[in-house]
Structure 1
Amino acid sequence: MIIHKSTNPRISSFDPENFSFGNTFIDHMIICEFEDGKWGDVQLVPYGQLPFSPAMMGVNYGQACFEGMKAYKDKDGKVFLFRPEKNFARINKSASRLAMPEVTEEMFLEGLKALVDIDRNWIPQGEGMSLYIRPLIFATEEALKARIANKYMFAIVATPAKSYYTEPVSVKISDFYSRAANGGVGSAKAAGNYAASFYPTKLAMEEGYDQIIWTDDSTHEFFEESGTMNVFVRINDKIYTPPTSEKILDGITRDSFIALANKRGIEMKIEPISVKAVVEAQKNGTLKEVWGVGTAVVTSVFQALGYKGEKLMLPILTLEDSFALTLQKDLVDIQTNNAEDPFGWRVLVEKNILETV
C-alpha cells in the first residue's frame, strides 16, 4: 500500500455534535486504478478532488456500483467494522453484473481497515453515531463508445453519521413505478438504480409521503423493497420479508434481522408479501408493524401506508411491544460492542495498522 498522509488534517475543526451527514468527509480516502487488465497499487491519500473528463465512460454509460457500511466506536474507544466480508462479496457481485473487474479481498479489507484506523478520530461516539463508509467502483476510461471500459477506479470514502430517521415515516405503495425488473440489475448496488428511483420518490413526497414501497414490475401486487431499504411486515406475531432475487438486494442488515429474529424465537417467514394481504391485515387489525432496514437507517418504522388514494394508519409501538425496535436494539448493541456477539459479526480494527503495512 502506498501511503500519503494529509499534511493539513481537518480533524481539529470537526464538531461531533454539529456536522452534516453525507457532506462531511474524513481526512483520507483509498484509491486504486485498473488499467491493462490489472489493478495497480492501493493508495491511501488525502481526501480531495480527482481529475476526470466529462467523457469518462462511467458518467456516460453507467458502469458504477458501490457499497454502504459502517464503523462503530464503543465506550472504550475501540473501533469495529460490521460484517465487512459481506460487503466485499456484494461489491464483487455488483461489479460482475456490470461487467467491471472484481476487487481482491486484500484491496478491499486491508484498504478499509487502514482508512478507518488512520481516521478513527473522525468516528463519533454515542447512540446512533458511526462512520458511514462508501466503497465504490466506476469506469474512468475517456471514450464515447458504448462498450465495456478498459479503465476503472476503486475508491473508499467516508463520512461521520448520526441517526438517519428519528421519527416514524409515511410510505406510498407504488402501483405504477418499479425499482427493478426481471433480468435487470436490481440485485446489484448499481448507481443507476438509485438515480431511477428519485423521480417516483419526488412524486410521492409531493403527495405527503416520505418514501415508496416498491412493488413488482409485472403486476404491482407484491412488496419488493422500500425506498433504499429492504422491507419487513409483521402480521400478528409473525414477521414476513420477501426473498431476495435478481430484483431485490441481498441486504446485510436484512440478513442480520432475520438471524436475530430466529435467535429470539420469533416466527420468520421469507416469502412473497402481497399488497392485498397487507391491506386486509390493516383493515382487520392484525397488521402490527411495517418497517424498512438498511445500513444508513438501520430501522425506519412506518406510521402509514398510502394505497390507491387512501392513507392506512399503523400503530406506533413502544420498544417493549415492537419487534422492529427490539431487533434494532439487538443489532445496534452488537455493532457498538454493548452486547455479546454470538455470530462473530464484529471485526476489531487494530490501532496503528499502517505501521505494519
Structure 2
Amino acid sequence: MTRTIEVVHSTNKKPKPNADNIAFGKYFSDHMFVMDYSEEKGWYDPRIVPYAPITLEPSAMIFHYGQTVFEGLKAYRTPDDRILLFRPEKNFRRLNLSSERISIPAIDEELALVALKKLIEVEKEWVPALEGNSLYIRPFIIATEPNINLTPANSYQFMMILSPVGSYYKEGIKPVGIYVEDEYTRAVKGGTGTAKTAGNYAAAYKAQERATEKGYSQVLWLDGVEKKFIEEVGSMNVFFKVNGEVITPELNGSILEGVTRMSIIELLKDWGVPVIERRISLEEIYQAYDRGELEEAFGTGTAAVISPVGELNWGQRNMVINNREMGELSRKLYDTLTGIQTGKIEDRYNWTVEV
C-alpha cells in the first residue's frame, strides 16, 4: 500500500470558535482525511482534502444496515507549544478489532497514524492552547456500496475529522449522578458490545432519556442476561474503590476495552494500588456501600478522562458516594493522566506521540 498522502489545501478557511466556550462536536476544522476501499484495489488513494459534505447514493449500505465503526481520541497542545497524541496506536488497533466484528476490511494501522499526524500538521492552528481544551479526533469507516442486499459491502470509506473541544469540566470537577438501567440491554456476550459501532449507541438513547428525566447524567448498564452484573457507564468504563482495593468489570465479550481504562489499570499497578478485573454484581457494591466500604467510584473515557460518581440510583436504593466529592485516588489519577497527555508531567510510560 502506498504511503504517499496527497494534500489538497482549502482556499476558504473557517473562523475559529471562541476558545472560552467551545461546545463538544459542533465545530470542525478546514480539512479531513479520506481513503477508499474496493474489492479490486483494497484500501487506496489516501488524501487530505477540504472538509466538505460527502455524496452517497440513497442505497448506500451504511444507511440500511449500519455497517460502520468509529474511534475517538484527542490531540493536546503542551505549555511549550508542542502537539501530543495519547496512545493513538491503541485506537487504530481497536478500530480494526471493531471492523473485524462488523466484517469491514482492516486498515493499515501504521498508515493511519502517519495520516493522522499529517492531518494535524496541516490543521495545527486548530489545536486549542487554552488549558483544558483539546482537538477531538474522530476516525470512522462507513459502507458506501449502493446495494440493499443483506451482505457485507464491497466498498468503504475511511475518514478522519477534527473538532476543537472545550474543557469537559468548565466549572470544576463535580461528581455525577448515575441511574442504574435494569430494563433495557446495552449488549450481550457474542453481540457487538466490544465494537465501537453506531448501533450500540443508538440503542442506548432510550435508557439515557429515562435517566435524564429522573435527573441523572449517565446510565449504568448491567449484563443483558441476569441484570445483576455491572458492565459500563454510558460511554465510559467504570471503577470502584472498595476498602482500599480498586475493582473494575472484566472484559467479558460485551464490554468495550477503553484506552483510558487500560491506562488507569497500568497506572494503579505501577503505584502499587491493588486493582482487580472481575465480575462485579450491583448487590456486592450496595453491600459494600451499606458497610461503609465503598470509598470512590469513577468512570473513565476519552472525553472526561476521569468522571467521579457521586450518586448511584438503583430502584428504591440510593447510594451517595464520598459525600458527592471527588476522591483522593480519582483526583490523583486525573491529574497524572491529564498531566501526561498535555506534557506537564514526564511521560515515563512512552504513551504520548509528538506530531
- Return the TM-score normalized by structure 2: 0.94
State the SS of the aligned residue for 1:40. strand
Which blocks of at least 5 consecutive residues in structure 1 are unaligned? 350-357
Deviation string 1:226-248 (CA, Å, 9 cap, x unpaired) is 00100001112111011113101
Q: Which residue of structure 2 lines up, in the alignment, with residue 45 of structure 1?
A: 49
Q: Which residue of structure 2 lines up, in the alignment, with residue 88 of structure 1?
A: 92
Q: Which residue of structure 2 lines up, in the alignment, with residue 192 of structure 1?
A: 199
Among residues 232, 237, 253, which one is paired with 1:230 in the alignment? 237
Q: Answer whether contact 1:229 1:293 (CA < 8 A) is retained.
A: yes
Q: In structure 1, what is the Cα distance between the partners aligned to 2:101 and 2:308? A: 32
Deviation string 1:268-292 (CA, Å, 9 cap, x unpaired) is 1111111111111112211111111
Q: Which residue of structure 1 lines up, in the alignment, with residue 80 of structure 2?
A: 76
Alignment pair present for 1:55 and 2:59? yes
Letter in 2 for 1:195: A
Among residues 279, 285, 297, which one is paired with 2:304 in the alignment? 297
Deviation string 1:275-313 (CA, Å, 9 cap, x unpaired) is 111111112211111111101121111111011233221
Q: Answer whether contact 1:172 1:213 (CA < 8 A) is retained.
A: yes
Q: Which residue of structure 2 lines up, in the alignment, with residue 23 of structure 1?
A: 26
Q: In structure 1, what is the Cα distance between the partners aligned to 2:104 and 2:265? A: 31
Which blocks of at least 5 consecutive residues in structure 2 are unaligned? none
Q: In structure 1, what is the Cα distance between the partners aligned to 2:324 and 2:271? A: 19
Deviates more, 1:265-274 or 1:246-255: 265-274
Q: In structure 1, what is the Cα distance between the partners aligned to 2:227 and 2:71? A: 28
Letter in 2 for 1:243: E
Deviation string 1:98-155 (CA, Å, 9 cap, x unpaired) is 0011111243111110111111111112332111100001101111111111110000
Q: Which residue of structure 2 lines up, in the alignment, with residue 248 of structure 1?
A: 255
Q: In structure 2, what is the Cα distance between the partners aligned to 1:117 and 1:245? A: 38
Letter in 1 for 2:330: A
Q: Answer whether contact 2:10 2:49 (CA < 8 A) is retained.
A: yes
Alignment pair present for 1:323 and 2:329? yes
State the SS of the aligned residue for 1:326. helix
Among residues 331, 338, 341, which one is paired with 2:347 in the alignment? 341
State the SS of the aligned residue for 1:41. strand
State the SS of the aligned residue for 1:300. strand
Q: Answer whether contact 1:42 1:107 (CA < 8 A) is retained.
A: no
Per-residue deviation at 1:265?
A: 1.4
Per-residue deviation at 1:316?
A: 4.2
In structure 2, the CA distance between the partners of 1:119 and 1:316, relative to structure 1 (3 Å rule), is farther
Per-residue deviation at 1:332?
A: 0.6
Q: Which residue of structure 1 lines up, in the alignment, with residue 153 of structure 2?
A: 149
Give the fraction of aligned pairs with identical amino acids, expressed as a percent: 39
Per-residue deviation at 1:317?
A: 7.0
Alignment pair present for 1:116 and 2:120? yes
Q: In structure 1, what is the Cα distance between the partners aligned to 2:39 and 2:226? A: 45
Q: Which residue of structure 2 lines up, in the alignment, with residue 209 of structure 1?
A: 216
Q: Which residue of structure 1 lines up, in the alignment, with residue 287 of structure 2?
A: 280
Q: Which residue of structure 1 lines up, in the alignment, with residue 184 of structure 2?
A: 177
Q: In structure 2, what is the Cα distance between the partners aligned to 1:45 and 1:317? A: 47
Q: Answer whether contact 2:178 2:312 (CA < 8 A) is retained.
A: yes
Letter in 1 for 2:111: M
Per-residue deviation at 1:318?
A: 6.3
State the SS of the aligned residue for 2:290. helix
State the SS of the aligned residue for 1:158. strand
Alignment pair present for 1:314 and 2:321? yes
In structure 2, the CA distance between the partners of 1:223 and 1:333, relative to structure 1 (3 Å rule), is same
Per-residue deviation at 1:7?
A: 0.5
Deviates more, 1:298-307 or 1:160-169: 160-169
CA RMSD of aligned residues (A): 1.4
Deviates more, 1:167-176 or 1:234-243: 167-176
Q: Which residue of structure 2 lines up, in the alignment, with residue 271 of structure 1?
A: 278
Q: Across the two proteins, how many residue pairs are aligned to each other?
A: 347
- Return the TM-score normalized by structure 1: 0.94
Q: In structure 1, what is the Cα distance between the partners aligned to 2:167 and 2:255? A: 25
> Structure 1 runs of 4+ off > 3 angstroms?
316-319
